[in-house]
Structure 1
Amino acid sequence: MKDEISGLGISQAALGAWLEDHVGGFADLRAVEKFGAGQSNPTYRLEAGSGTYVLRSKPPGKLLKSAHLVERDFRVMAALAGTDVPVPEVFALAADEASPTGRAFFVMEHLEGRIFWDPVLPELEVGGRRAYYDEMARVLAALHSVDVEAAGLGDYGKPGNYFARQTERWAGQYRASVEVPSAEFERIAAWLAERMPEDDGQVALVHGDYRLDNMMFAPHGARVIGLLDWELSTLGHPLADLAYQCFQWRLPHGGHMRGLAGKDRAALGLPTEEEYVAAYVAARGAEGVGDWTFYLVFSGFRLAAILQGVAARAKAGNASDPKGAMYGQLVPLLEGMIVGMLD
């Protein structure tokens, strides 16, 4: 196709025509630029006479079942409009069967703010860093306090034990991404099955990928203006989000990982893991975190499956970022770390 936009399979003229038909007030598409960061779904900045927008699409090629569901991304952000959870405004969704590109995408508001990629927050003065962690804990507590029925999300997830279902799901995703599953991964999966907690009845909207670089802060000050990347969201157990974020901070700080392992948090002006968890628990009015080791192991197991999927897409040539291949090299290191946590 003449003048086809790289990765979208549609010309700028054709995309502009669709946008003018489906996004209220949209006019005069002038430029389309792909954001370089991100591994899951290709995302583009749209410059138009009517303003700046963001388009987020499924990637090209064969996709794993239940992966890259930008439709969920769109639905949940639309449902959260007007709640205490900051999200960009969403304008239009093109479902797979109606999309001019042949795969689903949606268009949303472009936010002006800051994204931080390093949990040390080196861009900030030491004395100002803790406020950003307090804000992350506050937003997470607000998310888990959303009345899902009132938000129209009562059917957004399946009933029953969230961790049992998720363990089965991510084990399947991992196994579909490799020729032979590693012995370490299978050992972790067996440990989770044996340690599986009873369903305690807690159900909340969970983000699924709650981390520092999936939120945008205001240009000045420690205020989140947009929590992004919702395609892994569902109804589930709130401690899954909390443990997932804390597990990432247990990773090394260096190479291709941006964790906090080995860092002197006090000297850096950051809360300890215990302090961060306590801030979340207090903000949400929760009772505690129960079997914290289980939740952390589960989070690492899930992260390993996600990274293996990214590596598989890169090998197949349909990852949003071709650098995704390097994540396959991190999976064995991650699995070894998790095995060391088992008791």
Structure 2
Amino acid sequence: MSERSEPERLAGVVGGWLEESGIDHDGPLTLTRVGVGQSNLTYTVADATGRADRRWVLRRPPLGQLLASAHDVAREARIMTALQDSEVPVPRVFGVRTVDDVPMVLMEFVDGLVLDRREVVDAVPEAIRRAVGLAIARALALVHTVDLEKTGLIDLASHKPYAERQLKRWTTQWQHSKTRESADLETLTARLAAAVPEQRELTLVHGDFHLRNVIVRPEDGSVASVLDWELCTLGDPLADLGTLLAYWPEPGEPGAGLLSFSTLPGFPRRDEMAAAYLDASGRDGSALAFWHALGLWKIAIIAEGVLRRIQDEPRNRAAAYAPTTDQIDSLIAKALRTLR
């Protein structure tokens, strides 16, 4: 199958979907792969009119062999649907369909900026970059205010201690997706297991909250939508803050491009991000070093899985970048330093 054939095939699927759903559109449809995400594949859908109100988004799992429980777009759609009436901004979900045994989600197109490419970030003034960073931290605090009973998400995941669950899950992911052995990764895993803090809360946890997984408004940097709920679960809210900090390198640190563009002028520092979240949520951040290190550990394992999927199926590679083993090793080393 050629590189173009998958979007062309999906265009026919989406056309029938829109027709049966009674959603106005004029064919033919055009699907374009968007984002630098290396997990679920995301496409913008545009009809022949080119009108802004006739755009949609299609999400589907990666191509090729997948790990069990990973890339569950139907579960992701359930979460976003449950959050429609909450304070957390999410796209409207139009439906979920299974095509050739592959689940696909059709959702609203939310206008705004996704700061996942250097040329996009370069066009954002420094004052807006700062506003974006602080708005993201405050939006994360909103995620942790979601009423689990009211939204029906109380049964989304286990209520057992979150750190232990994460260590078990991602150690298994590493074993199944690694491309090589890493003594440093094994050392880091053992040290994290020995340093688990007591869990005092159970909230919704996004699981992958960072700069590239939000849509922001270019005029003021506010958050228009929170995306990519694939790793969402129930657990300790500080885990999400640790992940956000792990994805937020500062000038002089490795990770620009792989993690985010937070090293560029204007973006707030990690301590400012943490302070904005803690002020908005009223939480204590004394265990934050553990969660920051755990976030780096998890990102390293996710990146290793991306490498494995690209090796197994080159069409899963996003156009903008692919992680390298050197970048992954630098994340592991940084996590070890953070934990110490």
TM range (shorter): 0.7 to 0.9
Corresponding position of 1:65 = 68
Give SS of 2:151's match.
coil
Q: Does 1:154 align with 2:150?
A: no
Q: What are the equivalent positions in structure 2 for 1:115-154 lying under 5 Å apart?
A: 115-117=114-116, 121-154=121-154
In the TM superposition, what whole-angstrom CA distance separates every residue of 1:234-279 from its partner, at most 9, and x where no partner exists?
1111111111111122352546453556x7xxxx444332222121
Corresponding position of 1:274 = 271
Give SS of 1:196's match.
coil
TM-score (norm 1): 0.87
In the TM superposition, what whole-angstrom CA distance separates every residue of 1:15-40 from its partner, at most 9, and x where no partner exists?
4223322x342444422323242211
Corresponding position of 2:188 = 188
CA-CA distance at 1:133 after TM superposition: 2.1
Corresponding position of 1:258 = 260
Corresponding position of 1:207 = 206
In structure 2, distance between residues paired with 1:4 and 1:184: 37
Give SS of 2:86's match.
coil
- % identical equivalent positions: 34
- Give, as a single letter, the amino acid of the residue that structure 1 aligns with 2:126: V
In the TM superposition, what whole-angstrom CA distance separates every residue of 1:276-334 from its partner, at most 9, and x where no partner exists?
21211111122x11222211111111011100110100000166325665444421222
In structure 2, distance between residues paired with 1:81 and 1:260: 29
In structure 1, distance between residues paired with 2:132 and 2:142: 15
Give SS of 2:204's match.
strand
In structure 2, runs of 5+ residues without a counterpart are none
- Give, as a single letter, the amino acid of the residue that structure 1 aligns with 2:300: A
TM-score (norm 2): 0.87
Kindly tell me the number of residue pairs found equivalent between the two proteins: 330
In structure 2, distance between residues paired with 1:155 and 1:333: 36
In structure 1, runs of 5+ residues without a counterpart are none
CA-CA distance at 1:134 after TM superposition: 2.3
Corresponding position of 1:81 = 84
In the TM superposition, what whole-angstrom CA distance separates every residue of 1:82-133 from its partner, at most 9, and x where no partner exists?
2111111110111xxxx12320110001111111237995433333433222
- Give, as a single letter, the amino acid of the residue that structure 2 aligns with 1:33: L
In structure 2, distance between residues paired with 1:129 and 1:256: 18
CA-CA distance at 1:65 after TM superposition: 1.4
Q: Does 1:106 align with 2:102?
A: no
- Give, as a single letter, the amino acid of the residue that structure 2 aligns with 1:64: L
| Aligned CA-pair RMSD | 2.7
- Give, as a single letter, the amino acid of the residue that structure 2 aligns with 1:54: V
In the TM superposition, what whole-angstrom CA distance separates every residue of 1:207-255 from its partner, at most 9, and x where no partner exists?
1111111111124222211111111111111111111111122352546
Q: Is the 8 A contact 2:82 2:152 kept in 1?
A: yes
